[in-house]
Homo-oligomer: A and B are copies of this chain.
Amino acid sequence: MPARIDLEQRRRDVIEAAFRLLVSEGFSGVSLRKVAAESDLNIGSVRHYFDDHRSLLVAAVTEVGDRMGARLTRYPTDALAGLTGEAAVEALQRRLEELLPIDEERRVESIVLTEFIVAARVNPTFRPVTEQMAADMRLVITDALRVLEVGDPAEEAERIIAVLGGLILDSVTPHGSLGVERVRTTLRAHLRSTLRTTPAPIDD
């Protein structure tokens, strides 16, 4: 059987093309014909690697989910044990910056993820992936805060998740001109306040 073609690689290429379309045209711009053109393939070929339009999209959201999951677990939580003050802030900051659109690669993933999250509101097909991601994120952050001995880790994790989500949406979408530096410093400020570094200078 002629299996010259690396099937997995081809699928990856097609998904990558879908990512580019997601970025440039948004969710509704990802049609089979456009994906075929973007990946320099015939629509017949694309349909050979993906049964459906739907299954292509599911593969795409799964891919971005996997990548985000990998970013989440890149740094072991145990390594946070014992850290305090600015060292704790920096360690946590490094972990969470993995999820922020601070470079082109992460920007693409953030956009793709955002498009799917919004699409999932109406299209239940994508919910398993987005819900799994949200659950993983909640768990990892909560655990990290617990190891760092933060009071009420669940509540503080909720706030951090909200901050992350807001920052991602703001910087990905062009309504606030929220630059990379601003995103990072805003996150850092929030982490400092969460970890109760800088003991609240009250000025009166």
Give A96 Cβ to nearest chain B Cβ, in Å.
Answer: 13
Q: Does A69 contact B (CB under 8 A)?
A: no
Q: How far is the CA of A199 from the CA of B134 in the complex (A)?
A: 31
Query: Which chain B residue shows the least CB distance to A200?
Result: B196
Q: How many Å lie between the Cα of A90 and that of B93 in the bound state?
A: 30
Q: Quick one: which of A125-167 are within 8 Å of B by CB?
A: 127, 130-131, 133-134, 138, 151, 155, 158-159, 161-167
Set of chain B residues within 8 Å of A29, measured between Cβ atoms: 122
Q: Name the residue in A130, A176, A196 with the highest tally of chain B Cβ atoms < 10 Å from its Cβ.
A: A176
Given that A151-B203, A155-B186, A182-B158 are known contacts, is A175 also in contact with B118, CB under 8 Å in the complex?
no
Asked if A104 is at the interface (CB within 8 A of a chain B CB), the reply is: no
Chain B residues positioned under 8 Å from A45 (CB to CB): none
- Complex Cα–Cα for A24 and B170 (A): 24
Whether the Cβ atoms of B26 and A173 lie closer than 8 Å is no
Given A161-B166, A196-B200, A202-B196, does the pair A175, B133 have CB atoms closer than 8 Å? yes
Given that A165-B165, A189-B159 are contacting pairs, would A173 and B27 also be in contact in the complex, using a CB cutoff of 8 Å? no
Task: Give chain A's interface residues, CB within 8 Å of chain B.
Answer: 24-29, 111, 114-115, 117-123, 127, 130-131, 133-134, 138, 151, 155, 158-159, 161-167, 169-170, 172-176, 182, 185-186, 189-190, 193, 196, 199-203
